Amino acid sequence: MISLLPRNPIVTRTVEEIGPDTDWECILDTKCSFKLLYLLRTIEQIVNITAESPEEQRRQSEWFSAFLASNGFKRLYDLFLSWESGSSSGSDGSAGDGGSHDGASASLGKECLESLLKLINAFILGTYSSTSTTQVMT
């Protein structure tokens, strides 16, 4: 259902306008699973944009670099390492949204984990392909 919501311009701007002092731990907070999923899906949409023009490719490449430089990927990886099976809990061990582990909460946790894994995969493949392209060209 969250994927059907329109993108919030403030959230989108927060994710798109990355600076060296971007606090990904605060942005990708695990206290509210719905917010975490919404933000992960927003990042997914940015990562999955097919850049057709050279200008779009440059902007996307700059965004990827800024995300990596601001420790965005580190936050994704830390979330993954701290994930507890069957919950949407974060690095502090507390389950988001009150700690209930009913079917809806478990489903939400699985959606968050799925989104997280897709993003980690996209960054690993993106980094690998840009590294191998650079190495081939030199």
Q: Report pLDDT digits (tens) over 30-64.
A: 898 899 999 999 999 888 888 888 998 898 889 99
End-to-end CA distance of the chain: 46
pLDDT of 100 reads 46
pLDDT of 5 reads 64
- pLDDT band of residue 130 (cuts 50, 70, 90) is low
pLDDT of 105 reads 74
- pLDDT band of residue 2 (cuts 50, 70, 90) is low
Mean pLDDT of the chain: 79
The residues, ordered by sequence, that sit 6+ positions from 9 with a Cβ below 8 Å of its Cβ are none
- C-alpha distances in Å from residue 122, one per residue of 5, 67, 100, 128, 130: 23, 13, 31, 10, 12
pLDDT of 126 reads 76
